[in-house]
Structure 1
């Protein structure tokens, strides 16, 4: 079976999960897709798709965005890291990229499962460490369009309520994925991915509708646990 058809299923799963839980469309679709396809081929498809959802949500929740945190702290550091990650990617090779992404996914899923099991209360990082982690989050975003795990860790202890935190993160993904999409347009990979993008648009819509239906019918905590277990297994498959 054509692996790009499998990717349609993975996109459906990813956007259904994001609609239910509020996180992870690219992380999930990329982690599943990378088992069958090289990461550099996946990114020009998955990143522009994410702009549609993150752009809509950024406009919808624009009043909740904490602009000082977004513009003065996160975006300057992550933008530098994203450009560095993009420039670094060709030197790493597909196999090494897949292994590094597997490590990131295992760390992220394992950490979240541990936190959920232990009711861990996070503590704020020192300022220097927070900034360094944000640059590192940008690098992982440039490599895998998956800066979320490290950015959320970097923002541990930041005093934002849940609505502002979520809206600010959505604005980060819209901004950085717009930057990556522009880069993909310049390097020609976006045009090559154009037909597949159009093919996957209806899948994204179905995933969002399915997620909205599930959101009121599943236990979100249990659902998140299942998602992290799935990511843990997927990260292991990528690594080994």
Structure 2
């Protein structure tokens, strides 16, 4: 716990609070936000075995509470098969991805996603639905980025563009996706020893996630989502640029 109070883990704790409050509100974003910001102070390979298991606390809680809202047909016949295949491929490729390449590659992904979302929000652009095969390809790519960086959310949200789900069903379906895939990644980190090496930091950050759940559940019904998303993607854009230029 004392280590958490000293830099850089104190900053990571603040980023985790912001990130997990966001996912409790919207259904996605916890790892990509926490990883984008925390990668400014710690390496990706140190952060992922901490942030991925942490997500199980949030996604597990939200899944239990809102499982009746899950779109099971979309989940089981569309999202999970493609994303699970991509996640496995990405996880197996991680040992061959040099950290000097991984950081700017992840930064570029964050920048591209943030610019796209800010442009869409600014101009109120309605997103058309993808064709079935094109959507599945993007789901596979989302799984690949999830296996590499535990951050498949941006591409999955793009893959689901145009699919009409209300805010509650969309959030419930996404959090079950993350619970399923992050359970597999956590098992992988446990097998290769990365999880045990970061166990102290993981346990110390669990209370931060619990606070984020309470805040996110409260804000989910009170905050203007469009304005919040503008602030969120601006922060992500700055973090992505910092990852690229550092």
Q: TM-score, normalised by structure 2?
A: 0.91
Corresponding residue number in structure 1 for 2:115: 110
For residues 163 and 206 of structure 2, what CA distance do their matches in structure 1 show? 35
Q: Which segment drifts farther, 141-150 or 199-208?
A: 199-208
Q: TM-score, normalised by structure 1?
A: 0.93
For residues 91 and 59 of structure 1, what CA distance do their matches in structure 2 show? 36
1:142-190 deviation digits (Å, cap 9, x = unpaired): 0111101101111122243333222111110010001101111111111
Corresponding residue number in structure 2 for 1:12: 17
| SS of match in other structure, 1:61 | helix
For residues 232 and 182 of structure 1, what CA distance do their matches in structure 2 show? 31
1:135 corresponds to 2:149: no
For residues 10 and 53 of structure 2, what CA distance do their matches in structure 1 show? 18
Q: CA RMSD in A?
A: 1.7
Aligned 8 A contact 1:134 1:150 in 2: yes
Corresponding residue number in structure 2 for 1:165: 170
Residues 167/20 of structure 1: CA separation in 2 closer, same or farther (3 Å cut): closer
Corresponding residue number in structure 1 for 2:54: 49
Aligned 8 A contact 2:30 2:55 in 1: yes
Aligned 8 A contact 2:147 2:185 in 1: yes
1:149 corresponds to 2:142: no
Corresponding residue number in structure 2 for 1:207: 212
Post-superposition offset of 1:211: 3.8
List runs of 5+ in structure 1 lacking aligned partners. none
List runs of 5+ in structure 2 lacking aligned partners. 1-5
For residues 234 and 107 of structure 1, what CA distance do their matches in structure 2 show? 12
Q: Which segment drifts farther, 226-235 or 67-76?
A: 67-76
1:234 corresponds to 2:236: no
Corresponding residue number in structure 1 for 2:31: 26
For residues 166 and 229 of structure 1, what CA distance do their matches in structure 2 show? 21
Residues 69/212 of structure 1: CA separation in 2 closer, same or farther (3 Å cut): closer
| SS of match in other structure, 2:198 | helix
Q: Which segment drifts farther, 122-131 or 27-36?
A: 122-131
